[in-house]
Amino acid sequence: MPTLHTPPHRRSLVLLLAALGTVLGVVAFARPAAAHNTFVSSDPADGAAVAASPTRIAMIFGSPVPLDTASVQVIDAAGARTEAASLTHGPTGDTEVVALLPTLSTGQVTVRWRLVGPDGHPLTGRIVFTVASAVTTTTSAAVTGGYAGPTTLAVPPTTLPAVSADDLDEDFSTPGPLRWMLRYGAYLAIMTLIGIVLTDALVWPGSAKLPFARVLMRRSLLVVAATAALQLVVLASDVSGRAPWGALGSLDTAGRTSAGTALVIRLLLVGCAALLLQRPQLAPADVHWSTLGFTGMGLMGTWAFAGHSASQRWPLVGVPLDVLHHTAAALWIGSLAMVGIVAIRALPASDLALVVPRLGRGAATAVAVIVGTGLAQSIRLVGNPGRLLDGAHGRYLLIKIAMMGAMLILAHSNRQRVNQGFGRPSSGREPGPRSLGQLRRGILVEFGLGLVILAITAALVVSPPATSGL
């Protein structure tokens, strides 16, 4: 059992500098908001009737469209399906996508577009119009910003087997529950790693050196690596529209998206953290654990870049807020688990009299950060409160707020137990078995609520907020 001592100021200072460096880093690399994209209009428009077969279709979106993640398929009235081989941005900018069309048969035409947003969410839609004649004509300039004249297709489109229009819905899409499981697993594992390091630095010195903690950190790194690799494959599937096992050829394209880049960086950081855990002798103890904490917060930064914090409005605010919010949550939940599950059973009462009050002070600080950053993030993501219930994101947010309220009430009750059971460390008061049992149960219930809140947070990430498309 590690000897209990006052947390070294040097390690706490280095951790603080690491946190500041992480925040400055994510601010420096944060991009302008791209948001969950939304379809605005097209030419030909959905439901329109055109006199002759158009040579192209122009689509306007609410946010910039990365062409390497976009695809367009066309199915004409005869059932001939064509995949556009060349997509370009239109004259109005990168929010306009132009796809060249083959000569279309007379009758109803269905155009199916697909793209992946900057936060890795797949988006699809349909445009249906009717062609009166197979004679080709140029589209109007209403949407395309004054485009005139036909465009010659340098690369012929790919002709696919004839299908019905309904078959366009058969593009593979990874089920939502599986996406949630991958995000929850990654989230929980990253927070476990950070929580153990922060608990060691601020609440229970030496706890990270326990065999239990070291094994847990190694397993957490394995989970982070596995989920990151699987999320990359899912992202490749979203880009290609194929099942994950048939989408490996799109990994390179997926890795160039914002979400994909964050996942690749996450894998690299996992390698660094694994080396630090495997070779602790490479640096002095304080430097070793502080560097591991810095790496862990870097992992948290990749979470921010792969989600709404970077893809929605005000990313220069959202990304650092996200890192601070979840780092504080990692301290709160991680220290609850380490103290409630291990310390109360393993440490003598004299040591607990030092550790448990630290837990209370650390939790109080973490709660203040969580509430402040959470409020700011809610305003950023929801925008108009009247739109809160417009989608699943707002409903999940309300559930999270309610759960946070319950957790705060329980945390206050636990803090009262700490004050009653331990008093001030200088008082020498030691709690009895009954007080310890009540405190342990209260901490474990608080920890369980924390796990539920993390699950809701993972669901928030996979659902579009009310400000999508702004």
Stated length of the chain: 470
> Can you tell me the distance from the alpha carbon of 275 to that of 221, in angstroms, rounded to the nearest whole number?
11
Contact 139, 147 (CB under 8 A): yes
Contact 264, 236 (CB under 8 A): no
The per-residue b/e assignment along 267-276, b for 16 or more CB within 10 angstroms, e otherwise, is: eebbeebbeb
Contact 189, 221 (CB under 8 A): yes
**Which tokens belong to 296?**
């862990």
> Can you tell me the distance from the alpha carbon of 169 to that of 173, in angstroms, rounded to the nearest whole number?
10
> Can you tell me the distance from the alpha carbon of 331 to that of 12, in angstroms, rounded to the nearest whole number?
13
> Can you tell me the distance from the alpha carbon of 85 to that of 157, in angstroms, rounded to the nearest whole number?
5
Degrees to nearest 5, angle at CA 354 with 353 and 357: 85
> Can you tell me the distance from the alpha carbon of 430 to that of 427, in angstroms, rounded to the nearest whole number?
9
The per-residue b/e assignment along 246-264, b for 16 or more CB within 10 angstroms, e otherwise, is: ebeebbebbeebbbbbbbb
What integer pLDDT is reported at residue 129 of this predicted model? 92
Backbone angles phi, psi at 93, to 5 degrees: 125, -165
What integer pLDDT is reported at residue 460 of this predicted model? 73
**Which tokens belong to 4?**
């209990």
Task: Enumerate residue ranges in the chain where pLDDT < 70.
Answer: 1-36, 118-120, 134-171, 307-315, 317, 380-394, 417-435, 461-470
Contact 456, 399 (CB under 8 A): yes
The residue type of 135 is V
